[in-house]
């Protein structure tokens, strides 16, 4: 028996929410974690890079598992691994911490391709709108994790107060998993029903491979570059403000603004690209927005009112590119091969993104400050702008607005 569509959408939103809380919530506690366990900045950075790497490594395999086993079941498996990520708070050695962190990242990598397949099955004529709704759960999870984690840690006197927030986010994912199992009943409903590819589309796509298509490579490189910048900021932006003398609550608030600015951007830039009939122009605009924000963080991070503006426009720019990078494969891939194109984009993008936090940690260990790491960000922005001019343009087609009743 198929669950009610609205219920599937609501629970998918909750799953998406949990795919970001335990990940984003690590940033505010990372300095305390590193201090408590005696980790170098490079080692601590790996705790952010490993999940990002697992997301990339699991992109292609996760998509195949979704097609063969069922989207609702893979989502449950992914959420179970995310919940197990709360066990990071119970270990005291780097190898054990990395092992649990890797399983946590695998869970995110599995669940991410499952959710679009669910939207396609339940809302076959309104996938875009449904995807936008559930994806807002990721932004909400990022905002709340960034805003609440630092104050929660600050209430604990000991440096080991970093353990409490990680346990909480893991328990919340476990509670969501329980609701998913009770309501969705994945053993009875795979979530893979939907529109089948036509014979003509299958024949057209037989000889096509994303790995041989220059356009998909440009999209993948753009996704990887924005990911490098995003994950560097996710890992170390709170620490940057801490080094500037901003208290934990103030740093958490600025980090929350960085994430909050993503919501209008992640919805607005793809809609704008459809309205004006161009993908390149919004990609370029988002890139330049990120350049402006990253320059502000480098040159005047605590300058009066501007201290709140820089993280906002940096977050808006990088999230706009994130959303557009997920839309672009739809423009170039034959229908039956869209999963392959999306999997390649995610795999390359997340694998490249994993270098961002480690790069910042190495720079911090070598120089004693994050100034040089911040100097890299405008260079990333310039590369994003260049790649924006090389991505495929929007093909001519009639755009039909869709709504979720």
Percent above pLDDT 90 for the chain: 26
Specify the pLDDT at position 149.
80
* Two domains, one topology: 7-188 and 209-395: yes
Instruction: Produce one character per residue of 287-326: b if its CB has 16 or more CB atoms within 10 Å, e if not.
Output: bbbbbbbbbbbbeebeeeeebebbbbbbbbbbbbbbbbbb
Q: Does domain 7-188 have CATH number 1.20.1250.20?
A: yes
Express each pLDDT in 95-114 by its tens digit.
899 999 999 999 998 888 78
Q: Are 12 and 324 in contact (CB under 8 A)?
A: no
Question: 40-55: per-residue pLDDT in tens?
Answer: 878 888 888 788 788 8
How many whole angstroms separate alpha carbon 405 and alpha carbon 401? 13
> Which tops the pLDDT comparison, 116 or 322?
322
What does the alpha-carbon distance between residue 27 and residue 30 come to, in Å, rounded to a whole number? 5
Q: What is the pLDDT of residue 405?
A: 37
47-56, 71-80, 129-138, 375-384: least confident range = 129-138
Mean pLDDT of 353-365: 75
- Superfamily covering domain 209-395: MFS general substrate transporter like domains (1.20.1250.20)
Q: Record the pTM.
A: 0.72
Q: Residue 403: pLDDT band by 50, 70, 90 thresholds?
A: very low
Average pLDDT over residues 28-33: 83
Q: Where are the domains of the chain?
A: 7-188, 209-395
Q: Kindly tell me if the per-residue pLDDT of 69 is higher than 80.
A: yes
């Amino acid at each position: 028996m198929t669950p009610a569509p609205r219920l599937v959408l609501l629970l998918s939103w909750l799953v998406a929410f949990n795919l970001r809380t335990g990940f984003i919530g690590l940033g505010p506690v990372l300095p305390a974690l590193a201090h408590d366990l005696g980790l170098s900045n490079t080692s601590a950075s790996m705790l952010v890079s490993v999940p990002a790497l697992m997301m990339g490594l699991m992109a292609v395999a996760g998509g195949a598992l979704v097609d063969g086993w069922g989207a609702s079941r893979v989502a449950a498996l992914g959420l179970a691994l995310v919940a197990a990520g709360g066990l990071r708070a119970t270990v005291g050695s780097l190898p054990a911490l990395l092992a649990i962190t890797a399983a946590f990242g695998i869970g995110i990598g599995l669940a991410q391709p499952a959710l679009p397949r669910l939207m396609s099955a339940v809302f076959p004529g309104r996938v875009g709108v449904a995807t936008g709704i559930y994806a807002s759960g990721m932004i909400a999870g990022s905002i709340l994790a960034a805003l609440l984690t630092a104050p929660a840690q600050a209430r604990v006197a000991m440096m080991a107060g970093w353990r409490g927030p990680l346990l909480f986010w893991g328990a919340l994912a476990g509670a969501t998993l329980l609701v998913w199992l009770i309501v969705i009943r994945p053993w009875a409903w795979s979530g893979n029903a939907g529109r089948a590819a036509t014979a003509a589309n299958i024949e057209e796509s037989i000889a096509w491979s994303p790995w041989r298509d220059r356009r998909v490579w440009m999209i993948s490189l753009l996704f990887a570059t924005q990911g490098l910048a995003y994950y560097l900021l996710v890992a170390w932006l709170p620490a940057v403000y801490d080094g500037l003398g901003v208290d934990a609550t103030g740093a958490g608030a600025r980090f929350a603004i960085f994430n909050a600015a993503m919501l209008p951007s992640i919805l607005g830039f793809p809609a704008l690209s459809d309205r004006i009939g161009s993908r390149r122009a919004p990609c370029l605009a988002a890139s330049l927005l990120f350049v402006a924000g990253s320059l502000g963080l480098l040159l005047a991070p605590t300058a009066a009112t501007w201290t709140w503006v820089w993280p906002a426009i940096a977050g808006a720019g990088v999230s706009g590119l994130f959303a557009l990078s997920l839309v672009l494969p739809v423009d170039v891939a034959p229908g039956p091969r869209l999963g392959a194109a999306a999997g390649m984009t995610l795999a390359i993008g997340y694998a490249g993104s994993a270098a961002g936090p480690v790069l910042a940690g190495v720079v911090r260990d070598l120089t004693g400050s994050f100034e040089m790491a911040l100097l890299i960000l405008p260079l990333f922005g310039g590369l994003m702008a260049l790649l924006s001019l090389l991505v495929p343009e929007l093909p001519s087609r009639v755009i039909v607005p869709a709504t979720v009743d």
